[in-house]
């Protein structure tokens, strides 16, 4: 007989998800289904660290809001029983709770979601994640491809575009005046042999 405390249900609630003892890796809840992805490896972690190192000081210096790593979950209230955990994210100051954060998830979408592709990502899972962000009206998304050293930028109401390593990425209206070379996102990442 299966141990119900260890076996995820197909229709897990948000409350169940918050207390479920997930294995190592990143856990998300998608329409009641627990999704756990394995640790992504060194290059993925370095890129996430670089993103945080670039965004946190800028956001603090300009009092724009708060930047989060992949320990911060968003309950996408437009979708049933769905929690997304971007690799990095940003919330504008006016959306932060005035009393501070408690134990509960943030109810709503990030203003910027940053996803760094990992070896376990499939095209269909990425499409699903992007559809969830669109349904929850996430205004700004960066999809970072470590292998190709590119960034896809998706801004609500505008055509998506891709930046190469020699381009400059900006925060557009979300992070006014923020910009950096795309190559800075990949600092410390070894080049894959051709």
Convert the pLDDT of each residue in 103-116 to its tens digit. 889 999 999 999 99
Q: What is the chain's pLDDT, residue by residue, as a tens digit (194 residues)?
A: 343 344 455 688 898 888 888 777 788 999 999 888 887 788 999 999 999 999 999 999 999 999 999 889 999 999 999 999 999 999 999 999 999 998 889 999 999 999 999 877 778 888 999 999 999 999 999 999 999 999 999 998 899 999 999 999 998 888 999 999 999 999 999 887 65
**Fold held by 39-186:** tt1808, chain A (3.90.1570)
Task: State the Cα–Cα distance between residues 144 and 141, nearest whole angstrom.
Answer: 10
For the chain, which residues make up each domain, given as ranges?
39-186
pLDDT of residue 36: 86
Task: State the Cα–Cα distance between residues 48 and 78, nearest whole angstrom.
Answer: 27
pLDDT of residue 9: 54
In this predicted model, what pLDDT tens digit does every residue of 33-42 receive, in sequence order? 988 888 778 8
Strands (E), the chain: 26-30, 33-37, 65-68, 74-75, 83-84, 88-92, 106-107, 112-116, 140-145, 150-155, 161-163, 168-171, 175-181
């Amino acid at each position: 007989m299966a141990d119900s405390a260890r076996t995820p249900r197909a229709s897990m609630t948000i409350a169940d998800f918050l207390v479920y003892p997930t294995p190592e890796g990143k856990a998300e809840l998608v329409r009641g289904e627990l999704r756990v992805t394995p640790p992504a490896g060194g290059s993925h972690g370095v890129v996430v660290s670089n993103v945080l190192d670039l965004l946190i000081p800028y956001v603090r210096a300009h009092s724009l809001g708060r930047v989060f790593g992949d320990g911060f979950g968003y309950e996408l209230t437009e979708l049933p029983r769905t929690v997304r955990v971007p690799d990095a994210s940003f919330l504008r100051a006016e959306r932060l709770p005035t009393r501070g954060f408690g134990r509960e998830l943030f109810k709503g979408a990030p203003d910027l979601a940053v996803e760094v592709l990992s070896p376990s990502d499939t095209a269909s899972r990425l499409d699903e994640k992007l559809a969830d962000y669109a349904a929850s009206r996430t205004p700004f998304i960066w999809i970072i491809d470590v292998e190709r050293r590119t960034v896809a930028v998706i801004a609500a109401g505008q055509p998506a575009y891709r930046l190469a390593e020699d381009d400059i990425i900006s925060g557009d209206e979300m992070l006014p005046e923020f910009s950096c070379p795309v190559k800075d996102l990949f600092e410390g990442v070894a080049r894959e042999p051709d």
